[in-house]
Structure 1
């Protein structure tokens, strides 16, 4: 992530948190509407964007439109949120694509290792472009869902227990939590995969059923208290990320009055800035705490170059070959690379 860019974002988002969205002079009038949003875990950086949206829709409508976030899988298991959206059990839900790759195959392009998504502003532009791609939209249609916004997950890093993997060869035989293309990349290093949902990782590492877990750096490691049961963490592996975000039930959205629909769409830009600031702020807090307690594993440029040769384009090519008859996989990958290049120049 670019420090200069994030510093500017932090200033912008801080102002947004104080003043709210550049606001209408009057309260937005409309009917009373209550939505429920299903998610897992607790309130954290990951949920900051949607927490901001929920607060703003209530404020801007004088309490007539409310979105309640239900944490801790209170409404649905994380792997079943799409199912709940499809039947209208709730109006909104958060999801992570690698929990159920068969439900959202096109979105798995964003799990490919070593995509140029380290800068969160670039990542935002790329993800928005991918979410508008016909293959992605078709996947969402299968679940009566429309994508609202991404959670802009930062690059993943690993945290684990036991001897730290200081060389690439040390990953051989380790049982690791990693999904999607990142999981494929780790398999090429000889690791054994598991894709348990985030709330189950702490117990797995504590009991020794897994050796390490990949999470978005650094917020998610701390959110799930992984440092409590770990001995080491990687800080510059940056092997990739994934796609998690928020979807709406299409029928629920269609029933909203136009002024509420417009409000939701107007809130996306400031919500993204709030999301970026939340990740920036938590990194500043977590990294010193990690370094004080755990062994930091830093790979050399030569080691990282070797990892990319093994697990970047070869994994991309395998993914395209596996999906070329299902949707325009090569076109989707090309879109990611083109949009990242374009956004980086802005």
Structure 2
């Protein structure tokens, strides 16, 4: 590697390929591009989503792959909740539906593009920022990465494909020696308790990073170079564009009962407020694939639609809006 061991995106300002008011795409050498954005807390709003889509288009036409990272203090604190709040308060549900759809479609674009997309997070990587990592071909995380799906804390469920992805992974993890409901339950409680892995290594235990695919670098300054090398390796081996899944096993009603029992237990033990329980039940519904009479195989899009419907319905809940407002005014969600 030599000089390539450390890549600082800000050093590539003269190698600009494309930009908008919040984001910039740089040519970082060897036919690889790097995207970074600069917003408050590196939150992900419409300009950032536009940049991700545009960057993938450009990479598909002219480059070997795309690295998504940034030089700021944190990778991303999540989706732009201010925008969600504004649409919800004004009851602009069509706008909100379009915004969530765009988020979901952009995450799916990361996974199903014709070139590899590698994400290199560090620091806070929460909510929508975590969802972007869940949809990468590979994640190269700094050891000091705080990563998790924290949406339940603001009275929402992960709505950018995170819920769908946890269902898909649970389905892939199901095996003879463990009841399927238990496998799903582990994944469910990870989201329901808004669990954050406090290091890249812990993220493997939390099922956010995938053993054998994703990796952690102890020296944060090296992560972009390692991510770039991963793209070159994938390209050299002959990268095949993955196909959207239509074979995700969901458990339906049988698992729904078990998850509801778990939610009621948390509520009775005062771990969860009544609103927490309401949100968790919506999450359970999505993660079981709906109220199906028996286990069924479904598509990713089916799960994304369920996820989006649940997210939208929660945006109409007063207590969810109070929580989001709490985050916007004090930085902390209200416990209501």
TM range (shorter): under 0.3
Normalised by the length of structure 1, the TM-score is 0.27
TM-score, length-normalised on structure 2?
A: 0.28
Higher relative contact order (CA 8 A, sep 6+): 1
